[in-house]
Structures are given as C-alpha cells and as structure tokens.
Amino acid sequence: MRSDIRGLIVSILLFLLWGTVLVYPFRTVSDLISQTTQTVAGKLPLPAFVFAILVLLVVMGLTCVALFFGRSEISDALVLCFSSCSCILYCVQVIKTRSFSIEAAFVALVTVLSVTLVVLKKTEITRYLADCFIFALPVSMFYECVMNPLYRLLKLNIYKFSPFIVVPQKGIFSKVGNLLHLPLVVWGTFFFILTLLPVMYLAGGRKEGKIKK
C-alpha cells in the first residue's frame, strides 16, 4: 500500500477513536510532545497568536522529522522508541497515582507487538504501527486548532461524541480571539492546513525508502 494512503487511513482511525483506550499508547506520546512544547513556549514573552503558531510549527515540524527518518528500516527504531516512551510514561503515571487502569493492557500490548514485529522483521506491519505514533501528532493538532474552535463556535459539549471524539477544553488558539473579526476556527484551520502541506509531501514515497518525486 502507498505510504500516503496508509498515513491517511491511520489518521482517520486515530481521529475517530481519539478518546478511546485503543489509541491511548499513541495519544500519550503526542500529548507529551504537545504539552512540553506549550510549556516551553509559554515561558517566552510571546503574544497569544505567535504562541499558537510556534507550538503548531514545532509539533508539525517534529512530525516531518519523524516521517523523514521513517522512510526505510529506520521505522523499526522509531516504533521501539515511541512504544518504549509510551510504556515509560504510563509507568510514571502509575507511580504517581498508585493505581492501574485498563490502559495498561493496551500499552503493554503495543510494546510487546512492537518488539515482536521488529524481531520478526515484519516491516510492512511495523510501518503501520510507526504511523500510528507519528500521525498522532497532526491529529492532536487538528483537535487543538480546528475541533476546539469549531465546538466553541457551535457551542457544543466537548463530550457530545464521547468516548470516541473527545475535544480538549482548551486549544492552542483559545487565547487568540476573533482576530480581524474572523472566527477562531478560520485561523486555526488556515494555519493547520498550511503546516500540514509538508507533512503530506513527506508522507508519500516512504515504502521505497525515498521521498516521492
């Protein structure tokens, strides 16, 4: 299957199942990257609009880096790295809360599956797993930049389609307001699409280990 089609399918599934435990292992990594970026950017004396764009650029930029290095067998290393990170993050959460949850089963399953696929050299299946971690980043930004402002505009309950589609209470553009009298969702969608273009370009041609021409 073409890598761009594979990425599209994975992205749609992640979006539709974002609030479920099925994507929890992938969501934890994207949340860590997003929240860390927002924390660091928040310490800088930046206007709300610049802050939002900076966070979006960093997260989507990291997505591009992961896609670039995941064009060939390096995707095996990416899967092991991401799954290990997800496992560590959950262990830290368990230590803090001193309790286990159903998410533990899915984190363990993804970790074991990652190691097994890499050992058995099931590269094609491994790429699907790698894409789940990689495309969780743009999906999380879609929720932040588009879904949150859209829900606010339509005054919808963020848990309306729970547990599948769960929109964050605050998005990175939340403090921007209606700049130039345009709804927040317009700005969020515009900049998301703009930063999505290089992601779409790099998503193609990874099956052969090269960027499509």
Distances (CA, A) of 26 to 44, 80, 137, 168, 196: 28, 12, 9, 16, 19
Q: Where do we find the tokens 């067998």? A: 73
Q: Does residue 127 form part of some domain?
A: yes
pLDDT confidence of residue 75:
72
| 106-159 per-position pLDDT tens digit | 999 999 999 998 888 887 788 889 999 999 999 999 999 999 999 999 999 988
pLDDT(65) > 70: yes
Tell me, yes or no, whether 173 lies in a domain: no
- Tell me if 191 is assigned to some domain: no
Structurally, how many domains does the chain consist of? 1
**Is residue 183 in a domain?**
no
Using the 8-state DSSP alphabet, how is residue 146 labeled? I
Query: Can you give the residue range of the structural domain that contains 8?
Result: 3-137+197-203
Record the pTM.
0.89
Residue written as token pair 């286990």: 100
